[in-house]
Amino acid sequence: MFGLFNSPASDSSNPAPGKGGAVAAGTHAVLGTPLAAPPAEGQAEAQFGCGCFWGAEKGFWRLPGVITTAVGYAGGQLASPSYEQVCSGRSGHAEVVRVVWDTARISFADLLKLFWECHDPTQGNRQGNDRGSQYRSAIFVDDPTLLALAEASRQAYQEALDTAGAGRITTEIGSSRRFHVAEPYHQQYLAKPGSRPYCSAQPTGLTLGTYPGATYLLPASVWESYDWAIPHCVLRGDNAPIALV
Protein backbone atom coordinates (compact mmCIF):
# COMPACT_ATOMS: atom_id res chain seq x y z
CA MET A 1 0.00 0.00 0.00
CA PHE A 2 2.95 2.35 0.45
CA GLY A 3 3.10 3.65 -3.15
CA LEU A 4 -0.32 5.14 -2.59
CA PHE A 5 0.78 8.67 -1.80
CA ASN A 6 -2.43 10.69 -1.64
CA SER A 7 -2.55 14.46 -1.83
CA PRO A 8 -4.49 16.21 0.93
CA ALA A 9 -8.01 17.41 0.43
CA SER A 10 -6.88 20.97 1.06
CA ASP A 11 -3.42 21.48 -0.41
CA SER A 12 -3.05 25.25 -0.42
CA SER A 13 0.45 26.61 -0.78
CA ASN A 14 -0.43 29.43 1.58
CA PRO A 15 1.04 28.81 5.02
CA ALA A 16 -1.10 28.60 8.10
CA PRO A 17 -0.59 31.51 10.50
CA GLY A 18 2.69 31.09 12.36
CA LYS A 19 3.60 27.85 10.60
CA GLY A 20 6.18 28.82 7.99
CA GLY A 21 6.03 28.89 4.19
CA ALA A 22 5.33 26.39 1.44
CA VAL A 23 7.81 23.74 0.37
CA ALA A 24 8.95 23.61 -3.25
CA ALA A 25 6.45 21.31 -4.96
CA GLY A 26 7.43 17.71 -4.52
CA THR A 27 10.98 18.42 -3.32
CA HIS A 28 12.50 17.83 0.11
CA ALA A 29 13.51 21.23 1.53
CA VAL A 30 16.72 19.84 3.08
CA LEU A 31 17.70 16.73 1.12
CA GLY A 32 16.60 18.00 -2.29
CA THR A 33 15.03 14.64 -3.15
CA PRO A 34 11.48 13.92 -4.42
CA LEU A 35 8.94 13.69 -1.61
CA ALA A 36 6.63 11.21 -3.30
CA ALA A 37 8.98 8.95 -5.26
CA PRO A 38 8.45 5.22 -4.59
CA PRO A 39 11.47 3.31 -3.27
CA ALA A 40 13.99 2.35 -5.95
CA GLU A 41 15.99 -0.88 -5.98
CA GLY A 42 17.99 -1.13 -2.77
CA GLN A 43 15.61 1.18 -0.92
CA ALA A 44 12.75 0.60 1.51
CA GLU A 45 10.06 2.67 3.22
CA ALA A 46 8.05 2.82 6.42
CA GLN A 47 5.87 5.25 8.35
CA PHE A 48 6.51 6.34 11.93
CA GLY A 49 4.16 8.13 14.31
CA CYS A 50 5.97 9.79 17.24
CA GLY A 51 3.64 12.60 18.25
CA CYS A 52 3.82 15.93 16.41
CA PHE A 53 5.33 15.17 13.02
CA TRP A 54 7.37 18.40 12.81
CA GLY A 55 10.10 17.30 15.20
CA ALA A 56 9.83 13.62 14.32
CA GLU A 57 10.54 14.30 10.65
CA LYS A 58 13.69 16.29 11.45
CA GLY A 59 15.00 13.45 13.57
CA PHE A 60 14.66 11.02 10.65
CA TRP A 61 15.92 13.25 7.80
CA ARG A 62 19.19 13.82 9.69
CA LEU A 63 20.12 10.12 9.71
CA PRO A 64 22.80 9.15 7.16
CA GLY A 65 21.31 6.93 4.46
CA VAL A 66 17.81 8.40 4.55
CA ILE A 67 16.78 9.26 0.99
CA THR A 68 13.69 11.32 1.70
CA THR A 69 11.04 12.04 4.31
CA ALA A 70 7.55 13.52 4.18
CA VAL A 71 4.93 14.16 6.81
CA GLY A 72 1.36 13.05 6.47
CA TYR A 73 -1.56 11.10 7.90
CA ALA A 74 -2.19 7.35 8.11
CA GLY A 75 -4.33 4.80 9.89
CA GLY A 76 -7.68 6.52 9.66
CA GLN A 77 -10.99 6.31 7.82
CA LEU A 78 -11.28 9.35 5.56
CA ALA A 79 -10.20 8.99 1.93
CA SER A 80 -8.40 12.34 1.75
CA PRO A 81 -8.02 13.95 5.19
CA SER A 82 -7.02 17.56 5.82
CA TYR A 83 -4.98 18.76 8.79
CA GLU A 84 -8.10 20.22 10.38
CA GLN A 85 -9.97 16.92 10.06
CA VAL A 86 -7.08 14.97 11.53
CA CYS A 87 -6.74 17.42 14.43
CA SER A 88 -10.44 17.05 15.20
CA GLY A 89 -9.78 13.41 16.13
CA ARG A 90 -12.73 12.28 14.03
CA SER A 91 -10.76 11.03 11.01
CA GLY A 92 -8.86 8.41 13.03
CA HIS A 93 -5.52 9.24 11.40
CA ALA A 94 -2.17 9.55 13.12
CA GLU A 95 0.44 12.16 12.24
CA VAL A 96 3.25 10.13 10.67
CA VAL A 97 6.57 10.54 8.89
CA ARG A 98 7.15 8.57 5.70
CA VAL A 99 10.80 7.54 5.49
CA VAL A 100 12.58 6.09 2.44
CA TRP A 101 16.10 4.81 3.05
CA ASP A 102 19.11 3.22 1.36
CA THR A 103 19.27 -0.29 2.80
CA ALA A 104 23.04 -0.52 2.19
CA ARG A 105 23.75 2.57 4.30
CA ILE A 106 21.20 2.42 7.09
CA SER A 107 19.11 -0.45 8.42
CA PHE A 108 15.54 -0.62 9.63
CA ALA A 109 17.01 -1.40 13.05
CA ASP A 110 18.72 2.01 13.03
CA LEU A 111 15.42 3.70 12.22
CA LEU A 112 13.67 1.74 14.96
CA LYS A 113 16.34 2.85 17.43
CA LEU A 114 15.56 6.49 16.67
CA PHE A 115 11.83 5.80 16.79
CA TRP A 116 11.78 4.22 20.24
CA GLU A 117 14.27 6.65 21.77
CA CYS A 118 12.85 9.93 20.41
CA HIS A 119 9.47 9.77 22.16
CA ASP A 120 7.57 8.06 24.96
CA PRO A 121 5.67 5.12 23.43
CA THR A 122 3.65 4.52 26.62
CA GLN A 123 1.52 7.67 26.52
CA GLY A 124 -1.39 6.40 24.45
CA ASN A 125 -3.29 9.08 22.56
CA ARG A 126 -0.90 11.88 23.38
CA GLN A 127 2.71 12.94 23.42
CA GLY A 128 3.69 15.52 25.99
CA ASN A 129 1.45 18.56 25.69
CA ASP A 130 -0.18 17.25 22.50
CA ARG A 131 -3.33 15.24 23.18
CA GLY A 132 -5.52 13.31 20.78
CA SER A 133 -5.48 10.10 18.76
CA GLN A 134 -3.52 11.85 15.99
CA TYR A 135 -0.49 11.93 18.30
CA ARG A 136 -0.44 8.21 19.03
CA SER A 137 2.71 6.14 18.62
CA ALA A 138 2.72 3.97 15.47
CA ILE A 139 4.85 2.00 13.02
CA PHE A 140 3.38 1.08 9.63
CA VAL A 141 5.41 -1.10 7.24
CA ASP A 142 4.34 -3.58 4.58
CA ASP A 143 7.41 -5.84 4.30
CA PRO A 144 6.70 -8.91 6.51
CA THR A 145 10.36 -9.17 7.53
CA LEU A 146 10.45 -5.54 8.63
CA LEU A 147 7.10 -5.91 10.37
CA ALA A 148 8.51 -8.80 12.41
CA LEU A 149 11.58 -6.73 13.25
CA ALA A 150 9.35 -3.91 14.47
CA GLU A 151 7.53 -6.35 16.74
CA ALA A 152 10.83 -7.70 18.08
CA SER A 153 12.08 -4.18 18.77
CA ARG A 154 8.89 -3.40 20.68
CA GLN A 155 9.45 -6.41 22.92
CA ALA A 156 13.07 -5.39 23.52
CA TYR A 157 12.13 -1.82 24.38
CA GLN A 158 9.35 -3.02 26.67
CA GLU A 159 11.91 -5.06 28.57
CA ALA A 160 14.01 -1.92 29.00
CA LEU A 161 10.94 -0.03 30.21
CA ASP A 162 10.06 -2.84 32.63
CA THR A 163 13.55 -2.78 34.10
CA ALA A 164 13.23 0.96 34.64
CA GLY A 165 9.80 0.59 36.23
CA ALA A 166 8.11 2.48 33.38
CA GLY A 167 4.75 1.85 31.70
CA ARG A 168 3.44 -0.40 28.95
CA ILE A 169 3.97 0.39 25.28
CA THR A 170 0.84 1.50 23.40
CA THR A 171 2.46 1.69 19.96
CA GLU A 172 0.29 0.55 17.06
CA ILE A 173 2.23 -1.68 14.63
CA GLY A 174 0.61 -2.66 11.34
CA SER A 175 0.68 -2.79 7.56
CA SER A 176 -1.44 -1.68 4.58
CA ARG A 177 -1.93 1.86 5.87
CA ARG A 178 -2.41 4.38 3.08
CA PHE A 179 -0.20 7.46 3.42
CA HIS A 180 -1.86 10.83 2.83
CA VAL A 181 0.71 13.58 2.33
CA ALA A 182 0.17 16.59 4.58
CA GLU A 183 -0.23 20.15 3.36
CA PRO A 184 2.93 21.80 1.94
CA TYR A 185 3.49 24.12 4.89
CA HIS A 186 4.03 21.09 7.15
CA GLN A 187 6.77 19.52 5.02
CA GLN A 188 10.22 19.91 6.65
CA TYR A 189 8.60 22.60 8.76
CA LEU A 190 11.46 23.05 11.23
CA ALA A 191 13.93 23.78 8.42
CA LYS A 192 11.96 26.77 7.16
CA PRO A 193 12.73 30.41 7.96
CA GLY A 194 10.37 31.76 10.58
CA SER A 195 9.24 28.33 11.77
CA ARG A 196 8.10 28.04 15.36
CA PRO A 197 10.56 25.82 17.29
CA TYR A 198 8.03 23.35 18.64
CA CYS A 199 8.41 19.74 19.76
CA SER A 200 6.31 17.97 22.37
CA ALA A 201 8.14 14.62 22.32
CA GLN A 202 8.88 13.18 25.76
CA PRO A 203 11.79 10.70 25.39
CA THR A 204 12.09 8.18 28.19
CA GLY A 205 15.89 8.41 28.22
CA LEU A 206 16.15 4.65 27.67
CA THR A 207 18.09 3.23 24.74
CA LEU A 208 17.21 0.32 22.46
CA GLY A 209 19.81 -2.43 22.59
CA THR A 210 20.25 -5.60 20.59
CA TYR A 211 17.44 -8.06 19.86
CA PRO A 212 16.83 -10.93 17.42
CA GLY A 213 17.17 -9.80 13.81
CA ALA A 214 18.61 -6.38 14.59
CA THR A 215 21.59 -5.37 12.48
CA TYR A 216 22.75 -1.83 13.12
CA LEU A 217 24.69 -0.16 10.31
CA LEU A 218 25.23 3.33 11.69
CA PRO A 219 28.27 3.96 13.89
CA ALA A 220 27.91 4.99 17.52
CA SER A 221 29.07 8.51 16.64
CA VAL A 222 25.76 9.19 14.88
CA TRP A 223 23.80 8.78 18.09
CA GLU A 224 25.94 11.37 19.85
CA SER A 225 23.94 13.93 17.86
CA TYR A 226 20.79 12.90 19.75
CA ASP A 227 21.04 13.64 23.47
CA TRP A 228 17.61 12.72 24.78
CA ALA A 229 18.49 14.06 28.22
CA ILE A 230 18.34 17.58 26.77
CA PRO A 231 14.81 19.01 26.43
CA HIS A 232 13.79 19.44 22.81
CA CYS A 233 16.99 17.79 21.60
CA VAL A 234 15.79 17.62 17.99
CA LEU A 235 15.18 21.36 17.92
CA ARG A 236 18.73 22.11 19.07
CA GLY A 237 20.40 20.04 16.33
CA ASP A 238 21.41 21.25 12.89
CA ASN A 239 19.02 20.81 10.00
CA ALA A 240 21.67 19.21 7.81
CA PRO A 241 22.08 15.42 7.76
CA ILE A 242 24.62 14.06 10.21
CA ALA A 243 28.01 13.63 8.51
CA LEU A 244 29.84 10.35 8.99
CA VAL A 245 33.44 10.80 10.11
Q: What is the C-alpha to C-alpha distance for residues 91 and 82, in angstroms, rounded to an integer? A: 9
- DSSP reduced 3-state for 91: coil
Instruction: Give the tens place of pLDDT for each residue, 62-91.
Output: 999 999 999 999 999 988 899 999 999 889
Q: What is the pLDDT of residue 229?
A: 86
160 contacts: CB under 8 Å, gap ≥ 6: 206, 207, 208, 209
How much is the pTM?
Answer: 0.90
The partner residues of 140 in beta bridges, in order of sequence, read 47, 174
| Domains by residue range for the chain, with CATH | 5-197 (3.30.1060.10)
| pLDDT surpasses 80 at 26 | yes
Closest listed residue to residue 115, CA positions, set 173, 167, 185:
173
Instruction: Give the tens place of pLDDT for each residue, 4-22.
Output: 456 544 333 333 322 333 3
The partner residues of 49 in beta bridges, in order of sequence, read 138
| pLDDT surpasses 80 at 40 | yes
- DSSP reduced 3-state for 190: helix
CB 170 within 8 A of CB 121: yes
- Positions marked active-site: 52
Q: What is the pLDDT of residue 30?
A: 97
Q: What mean pLDDT is predicted for residues 47-74?
A: 97
